[in-house]
Amino acid sequence: MPNSALPNSGTPDTTTRSSTVRIRIEATGLPGRSCAPAPGSPGYDDIHVAVQRRGKPGELLDPVPGDAPRAVWTLECTVKAGPDLLGPYVQGGPGARFVYLSWVNADADGLTMFRRAKLMLDAVPAATVEAAVRSGLLVARLGLTDAKGHPLCAAVRPPLVIWSA
C-alpha cells in the first residue's frame, strides 16, 4: 500500500510503526439453531457461531446461538507496516490474514466444530485500514446464512462483507 503520509500531516504512517485497532464483527441473518443433513454431513440441532483463537481451534470467543437476531465480537489487533493486521484471533500469514468464524454444535460432549468461514482481511481496502488506524475501529458487517439457508462458510470477501472504519 503506498503511503504518502508526511510528518505532522494528520495521516498515520502505518509503514513504519504499529497502531492498535479493534475489529468489530457485526453479523445478522443467522441461519437458525439447526442445520439439516447434507450429503456426507450429519444434521446438527444446536448450532452456535464464534470467533476461533489462532492456533487453538477449541478456544472460541463468545459463542452465539444460531437463532440469535445478531452476533457481535470485538477483537484487539495491531496494525503494522504493509498494512498487516495481527492479533490473537487473526489467522494466516502476511498478505493472507483472516478471522475464522467457527460453526459448532453443542451436545453432551461439548462444542464440536463442523464448518468455518474465513473473514478475509486482505479484502479490506487500504484506505479503510488507514481510516481504522485513525479512528481505532475497523467494522465488518455480514450476514451469516448462505444462499442455501445453511451457515455461511468458505472465504468471505466483499460483497458478502462490508468493511468500514
**Cell numbers representing residue 21 in the block:** 485497532
Which tens digit of pLDDT belongs to each residue from 33-82? 999 888 888 899 999 999 999 999 999 999 999 999 999 999 999 999 88
What values do phi and psi take at 122, rounded to 5?
-70, -10
pLDDT of the residue at 83: 86
**Angle at Cα 24 formed by Cα 128 and Cα 134, nearest 5°?**
40
pLDDT band of residue 13 (cuts 50, 70, 90) is very low
The three-state secondary structure class of 154 is strand
Around 126, how many Cα atoms within 13 Å sit in the side-chain half-sphere?
13
pLDDT of the residue at 30: 98
Nearest of 90, 112, 101 to residue 23 by alpha carbon: 90
pLDDT band of residue 16 (cuts 50, 70, 90) is low
Give the number of residues written for the chain.
165
The three-state secondary structure class of 96 is coil
pTM: predicted TM-score of the whole model, two decimal places: 0.88
Q: What is the mean pLDDT of residues 149-164?
A: 96
Whole-Å CA distances, 109 to 60, 64, 66: 16, 18, 18
